[in-house]
């Protein structure tokens, strides 16, 4: 059995990274990550993207096992992030006559990152490249999620090489096709990947989906995660919903706490939401939960409640950082509530009011503010905030 074959003459030559702790030095990788590259063993042998440079020797060995000493004619670069383009200089050294295929913005980045010159083929929207059996057509997908991004479509086998689109975290353990592996871990990792990396660029993703929706696609070869065949409708649906900022019914309660008082308020709100029929209630202590998980849940659910103590006449640092991450991703269409506490001078609630103005979220009620520990009336206010959120969600 040819274990690398995807379809036609297309082979998987990607690698798995189980060593890296943080993706982009920020996002935890509990299941690792794959860097996917594809080799088309056609009349004109073509490589689609590369891998992170530290895996080059493994990458090169996979290529040699497939084609031996035969030369590679083309290297197509769909996306220039270094986890995909990092081996360009090394590939060029191994195959000095290779022609690099990209768009005008691609080559400016290749020069800037790697100083690589030589044979170049600059392609534009709709240009085609005949490899013999396979025929590639190129479509620009700017800001999904870098400005140079393009995708390559093989009309012969109806395969889309989609750059980072439709990707997710997680190594490919054993197989790489969605039909050969257990997919359980990838669905949440797809949400976390999209919301934290691509999340800001919902409108460009929607434009790309509209453009690619006219193509008959039987296989999607992303640069991270499984090769999609059987589950393409589900994968496209996830990206479509996330890029429209559509969400399920539910509430994320994210809070900062030093002595437990804001946590008590969060628990009270959660209890009332549950009593009113809201089943999806997720609590995050910002000092414990990783921000990537909080952001993923904010993309998943329609309701968001944030609580912060006053800290140095400002927001609790973890809450301040979270609000910045939400604004950076331009999340839309959320119902919002907030609460805050203080000991002698309250500022947290005032600062979060500024976030409401910037986010343009739908405020469900007036904020709740309490001094020092929670008292009788504070429990009533917590219940009222929860009731307003439940009503906004249709309960």
Closest residue by Cα to residue 103 from 43, 160, 148: 148
Residue 99 CA, chain-centre distance (Å), reads 30
Question: In 115-231, where does DSSP find H-type helix?
Answer: 184-193, 202-212
Please confirm whether the linkage preceding 205 is cis (ω < 30° from 0).
no
Determine the angle formed by the axes of helices 184-193 and 291-300, rounding to 10 degrees. Answer: 90
- Read off the DSSP letter of residue 200: G
* Burial annotation 372-395 (CB, 10 A radius, 16+ → b, else e): eebeeebeebbbbbbbbbbebbee
Homologous superfamily (CATH) for 252-392: Flavodoxin domain (3.40.50.360)
For each of the chain's 395 residues, which pLDDT tens digit applies? 689 999 999 999 999 999 999 999 999 999 999 999 999 999 999 999 999 999 999 999 999 999 999 999 999 999 999 999 999 999 999 999 999 999 999 999 999 999 998 899 999 999 999 999 999 999 999 999 999 999 999 999 999 999 999 999 999 999 999 999 999 999 999 999 999 999 999 999 999 999 999 999 999 999 999 999 999 999 999 999 999 999 999 999 999 999 999 999 999 999 999 999 999 999 999 999 999 999 999 999 999 999 999 999 999 999 999 999 999 999 999 999 999 999 998 899 999 999 999 999 999 999 999 999 999 999 999 999 999 999 999 99
The model's pTM: 0.94
Residue 221 pairs in a beta bridge with 161
- Match domain 5-243 to its CATH number in 3.60.15.10, 1.10.10.10, 1.10.1740.10, 3.40.50.2000: 3.60.15.10
Kindly list the domain boundaries of the chain, sorted by start residue.
5-243, 252-392
Q: Is the dihedral of CA 321, 360, 146, 294 positive or negative?
A: positive
Q: 3: burial class by Cβ within 10 Å (0-12, 13-18, 19+)?
A: exposed
């Amino acid at each position: 059995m040819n274990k690398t074959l995807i379809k036609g003459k297309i082979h998987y030559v990607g690698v798995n990274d189980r060593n890296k702790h943080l993706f982009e030095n920020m996002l935890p990788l509990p299941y690792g990550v794959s860097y996917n590259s594809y080799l088309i063993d056609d009349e004109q042998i073509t490589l689609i993207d590369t891998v992170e440079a530290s895996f080059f020797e493994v990458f090169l060995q996979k290529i040699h096992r497939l084609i031996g000493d035969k030369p590679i004619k083309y290297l197509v670069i769909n996306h220039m992030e270094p986890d995909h383009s990092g081996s360009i200089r090394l590939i060029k050294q191994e195959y000095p006559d290779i022609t690099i295929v990209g768009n005008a913005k691609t080559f400016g980045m290749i020069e800037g990152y790697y100083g690589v010159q030589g044979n170049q083929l600059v392609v534009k929207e709709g240009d085609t490249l005949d490899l013999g059996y396979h025929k590639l057509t190129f479509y620009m997908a700017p800001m999904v999620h870098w400005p140079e991004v393009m995708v390559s479509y093989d009309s012969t086998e109806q395969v889309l090489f989609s750059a980072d689109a439709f990707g997710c975290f997680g190594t490919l353990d054993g197989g790489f096709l969605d039909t050969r592996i257990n997919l359980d871990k990838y669905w949440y990792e797809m949400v976390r990947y999209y919301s934290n990396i691509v999340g800001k660029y919902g409108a460009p993703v929607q434009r790309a989906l509209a453009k690619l929706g006219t193509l008959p696609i039987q296989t999607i070869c992303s640069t991270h995660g499984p090769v999609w065949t059987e589950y393409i409708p589900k994968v496209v649906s996830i990206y479509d919903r996330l890029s429209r900022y559509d969400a399920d019914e539910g509430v994320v309660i994210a809070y900062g706490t030093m002595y437990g008082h804001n946590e008590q308020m969060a628990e009270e709100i959660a209890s009332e939401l549950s009593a009113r029929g809201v089943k999806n209630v997720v609590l995050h202590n910002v000092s414990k939960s990783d921000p990537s998980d909080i952001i993923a849940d904010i993309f998943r659910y329609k309701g968001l409640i944030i609580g912060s103590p006053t800290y140095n006449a400002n927001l609790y640092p973890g809450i301040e950082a979270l609000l910045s991450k939400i604004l950076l991703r331009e999340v839309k269409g959320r119902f919002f509530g907030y609460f805050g506490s203080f000991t002698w001078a309250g500022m947290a609630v005032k600062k979060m009011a500024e976030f409401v103005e910037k986010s343009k979220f739908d405020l469900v009620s007036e904020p709740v503010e309490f001094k020092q520990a929670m008292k009788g009336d504070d429990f009533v206010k917590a219940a009222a905030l929860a009731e307003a959120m439940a009503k906004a969600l249709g309960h």
